[in-house]
Structure 1
């Protein structure tokens, strides 16, 4: 494939640019009354400042009427958006009531402002109904967190949340356990301390991810370019109506600084992208059909799973100079069990654009999805389904009309890997950064306190990673020994001390707060990883053998299990669908291998698979690559024919003799027995585990062995 072509001279939309637009087999934009400058005549002169719905929804299946055919075939959420005065009502009114919850309509709008109404299933009192609380999610483009905001979030976790901070798989914070009475003060604290939550959830552009490594601009400039673009895209696609400040700050405005080129792109309507006269020039009253995700990466670095996004972007460098971007569209993880019309998908290549055109390309893709994505069936509303229905070429042609310029051929890129960013690293400017592993992204107990101490003491900024970890940045080398001592004293382990499975595993929150969760994920994965390691040891795999493992409590795929070498997707209480065949560079989807595998049967299920891998893999071959090479049929045949370890294999895998005291203190290998305990005792155990940043199994084992002594 040829390298990138030189960007065309002149601004986007010039005669030269327009001449390069690919021919499209559709009515031209100016003849479609739902698009272009003719939208201005459709703006209602109402106090509510609403504009009429312009969507074409041509991806709606034949036989169903779309909005421009005289009858709206919308899902319920579309009506809520249309009647909300750009996300204001009835949320404002519901926040003022004395109820501990908000109405369903208000809860749908609350998502756009940055959170979900939740029910803690484990805190329900008998006969009292749901235990309502709220989750708030921030927007942190590229995972960048100023020092002031980190300290604010840490304080809020204790004063308004449940005492923990969660780092998400999209480089943001989630604060759980907020009561309705504390919602406004929580949002106000974030907004006034360099943060935002606007658009962190809802049918809108979500947090824009980017490779978070804090390399200096003169050392590895592509990282700074990606991170800056993430911020600019976040600004470009942020809601503009002011509803956010009306709801949370009672109309008080907060000064925001945007680049002139971002404002110019947002306001540019030469190719029929905007709602003229609307307070939401890009989104209109209906916003997008569903959530919309964007990720920006750099050549060779696929830490963020960039092809799982609605738009994936890769910086392109040529001879050390930044020349533009490769652009991909149509990725997404969500699916539903037993619904083959839903599926995970990786983004398809659209092409290369020059560095001055990337904002216009992003806007064009988002607008094409806005106008043509389905709004009748929310399970079919993501961009990936539009591209699947149309084909890449048709979608590309429509996007080029909105962009006013054709995509060029993709630029060549080097092979990708997935760095973890763990440990000590040089930034390239004389300072260091340190990657801290956070188990499934949950910061709590002594580890949370120690991190707060060093971040506050040295006024460190922070980066959040796509693997739910934390990067401490801008560290003077003279501070290193004190930081190491402080974290070590709190039990924070260096990456070199962490099991290879745990280093790159991620999981969604799942039970008890997520209303979609079917089974455990975050709370269950640490113990499951230990059990899998025991099985790996049993069959003789090396102690440092690493699988990319991801777990979710439902099929929505928030932890991207469909990209894992070994993915666990909740499909019932204590039951998981097993996916295999993703690759360590995150460029291939996994495939479903088995349904309804009970968590209690993992040892017997995986032992023959791991033994087949141990005896059949090539040198240095990863688990995902092996599964793809031999195929699922061969693996299932190996499972069915497995009669247990041969004697020689048992002897080779047998552990060396250990002192009796050490053996007594060790957690038994294999499947742990289940023990029922009273609720009060469980709560004490849970609190102890959270305070000491450990698992329930480890806490219970330590307590029992202490009693034995």
Structure 2
């Protein structure tokens, strides 16, 4: 396996004094130290400085405030109700029973709203006080979990799909995802010094891979095992599609340049599907991920922060130029793409037996939020559970590696605790995602998670009017255009524009291989349903057998692709 590390080519970037202020801050932060430690001990405020707030993102921590109380506190001349979101680094989303039990315990002590499973297979604690940050991170370290690089301009937590019918391959893919995560992890000692009070090392900490300014923006990598596209592979900066021949992992098709975020106020802002570029051997995945990330490090825009994501770098320098850079740094050409087929981008809910005779069960968690009664139910269940846990990119919990002799015990326990119904949610609940949005996310313009239950009830009522209640339609709701719940891949998506108002996107694919198109702007929830009603009416009468809603809209020309990035990736 290749172990070479790509040297940093700092001369390619713009001069530091011409770069974005974030780049200058990183350069003078002493490899992410800043004055975070001093700010944590400042008892005069519940927050930290703006600059340190940017640096703590690299430590997996966002400074936020309770926006429900912001105006009231302003009137009373009080500072905002500062609190922190803490995101764990869990490559591939796998946890032991003991880790879950401790995470549950810590959330009850330090989090204001339970546990939240994210769309990148990890966990967030919300509403953590400044004085609680260090004891929380020290406690997490004792169970082998940290938060380094869960946020920030670096390689974020790596997501990894699962295929119960290819469990041996799934384990290999997971191992490669973990190896890639470790390879691309920042090496600075700032994290341990800040949170664990580790004394500074004798030598200056440096970043042999990232350098002093790290990446221009966040970078996301994912591994998927066809035919399930349960991580939305085409939304990743770098995606690896497993190729299986005769039950053996032979390698990966590599995709580059995916990304969901956009700004509605800029015409040069857009979501993008990743582009398949070639095939590699399985053992090359960690190294080529590093190579591609270093190209983004060296060629990404460090002046216009909005245009700094890899998708824009790829479109700016061109696919052919990128491939030449890739071959030069990787040391060999990629082989031609191998055939693959993706059938859906949801989770397999319910019970599934793997090829090695173990069992897997998926519990649906609406919007990934675990609090109140549900948290108590899960706490009681995991006390007696003997298997492992996997968080999914669709915000659910999978119970994995259940031996055959335990399956009836597990089923009985789920039933006794009122959890069994989560194995068989309604078809619409199973394909609905939402982001956190208000009141904690500083970017949110409208509600998402908090309005999902009520909107979903109205949405289901509308489907019933047209006898569509058994037809799953991918629905995603976000509080802003940034795309944390991957709305631009949904058959129907609402992205927040202002309190109570949303842009309506239509026509994504249930396979996750086609972008949705903007249909109407600035609609209330009622207006969204009014806009959908005539389309549901036509879909109920004119659809082909087993035709999905997004495919129907395109076949009947209700949706027209506006650019090449909006085209469906053909099944290969």
Relative to the length of structure 2, the TM-score reads 0.92
Partner of 1:379: 306
- 1:234 pairs with 163, 181, 185, which one? 181
2: CA distance, partners of 1:483 / 1:107: 43
What secondary structure sits across from 1:509 in the alignment?
coil
Q: Tell me which of 247, 256, 259 is aligned to 2:194.
A: 247
Tell me how far apart the structure 2 counterparts of residues 170 and 516 of structure 1 sit (CA, whole Å).
Answer: 18
Q: Please give the per-residue CA displacement for 1:380-400, whole angstroms capped at 9, x wherever unaligned.
A: 000000111122111111122
Aligned to 1:464: 391
The residue that corresponds to 1:262 in the other structure is: none
- The structural deviation recorded for 1:496 is 6.3
Q: How many pairs does the alignment contain?
A: 553
Classify the secondary structure of the residue corresponding to 2:209.
coil
Unaligned runs of 5+ in 2: 561-572
Instruction: Verify the 8 A CA contact 2:226 2:340 in the aligned structure 1.
Output: yes
1:603 and 2:553 correspond: no
Secondary structure (helix, strand or coil) at the match of 1:589 reads coil
1:346 maps to what in 2? Answer: 273
> Are residues 1:629 and 2:559 paired?
no
What SS does structure 1 have at the residue aligned with 2:137?
Answer: helix
Residue 143 of structure 2 corresponds to residue 188 of structure 1: no
Counterpart position of 2:538: 612
Q: How does 1:500-511 map to 2 (within 5 A)?
A: 500-511=427-438
Per the TM alignment, residue 598 of structure 1 is displaced from its structure 2 partner at its CA by: 1.0
- Mapped partners of 2:479, 2:346: distance in 1: 26
CA distance in 2, matches of 1:448, 1:598: 32
Query: Structure 1 length as normaliser, TM-score?
Result: 0.75
Is structure 2 residue 510 aligned with structure 1 residue 584? yes
Assess if the C-alpha contact under 8 Å between 1:348 and 1:392 holds in 2: no
- 1:29-44 → structure 2 map (5 Å cutoff): none
Query: Structure 1, residues 669-704: CA drift from partner, whole Å, max 9, x if none?
Result: xxxxxxxxxxxxxxxxxxxxxxxxxxxxxxxxxxxx
1:570 maps to 496
Partner of residue 161, structure 1: 111
> Who is 1:264 aligned against?
none
Partner of residue 88 from structure 1, selected from 14, 33, 56 = 33
Bigger Rg over Cα? 1
> How many Å separate the matches in 2 of 1:385 and 1:376?
13
1:475 has 2:425 as partner: no
Helix, strand or coil: the match of 1:121? coil
Could you tell me which residue of structure 1 aligns to residue 66 of structure 2? 120
Cα distance, 1:404–1:526 mapped onto 2, change above 3 Å: same
> 1 CA distance for matches of 2:155 and 2:513?
23
State the alpha-carbon separation in 1 of the partners of residues 3 and 143 from structure 2: 36
> CA offset at residue 606 of structure 1?
2.0
What whole-Å deviation, never above 9, does each CA across 1:320-377 have from its counterpart, x for those lacking one? 3332211111000000013111100011122111223222211110000000000111
Partner Cα separation in structure 1 for residue 22 and residue 520 of structure 2: 34
Cα distance in 2 between the residues matched to 1:523 and 1:55: 47
**Kept in 2: contact 1:502–1:526 (CA 8 A):** no
1:416-437 alpha-carbon deviations (Å, 9 max, x no partner): 3334121122234443221100
Q: How does 1:376-415 map to 2 (within 5 A)?
A: 376-415=303-342
Q: 2:436 & 2:407 partners in 1: Cα distance?
A: 32
C-alpha separation in 1, matches of 2:66 and 2:529: 31
Structure 1: which 5+ runs fail to align? Answer: 1-9, 14-34, 40-52, 58-65, 255-276, 635-709
Separation of aligned partners in 2, 1:398 and 1:428: 40
Superposed, which structure 2 residues align to 1:546-695 within 5 Å?
A: 546-632=472-558
Q: Is the 8 A contact 1:450 1:486 kept in 2?
A: no
Tell whether the 8 Å contact from 2:249 to 2:282 is kept in structure 1 after alignment.
Answer: yes
SS of 2:12's equivalent in the other structure is coil
Residues 23-78 of structure 1 deviation map (CA, whole Å, 9 limit, x = unaligned):
xxxxxxxxxxxx987x7xxxxxxxxxxxxx81513xxxxxxxx22xxx63211111
Distance 1:279 1:123, change over 3 A: same
CA 1:512–1:87 in 2, change beyond 3 Å: closer, same or farther?
same
Supply the distance in 2 between the matched residues of 1:111 and 1:478 (Cα, whole angstroms).
Answer: 44
Q: Which moved more, 1:556-565 or 1:473-482?
A: 473-482
Distance (Å, rounded) in 1 between the aligned partners of 2:365 and 2:2: 45
Q: Which residue is equivalent to 1:56?
A: 12
- What displacement does 1:619 show? 1.8
Task: State the SS of the aligned residue for 2:457.
Answer: helix
1:515 maps to what in 2? 442
Q: 1:80 to 1:633 in 2, by over 3 A?
A: closer
1:184-211 residue CA offsets vs partner (Å, 9 max, x unmatched) = 0011111111112110000000010001
Please give the root-mean-square deviation of Cα atoms over the aligned residues, in Å.
2.3
Deviation at 1:476, TM superposition (A): 3.9
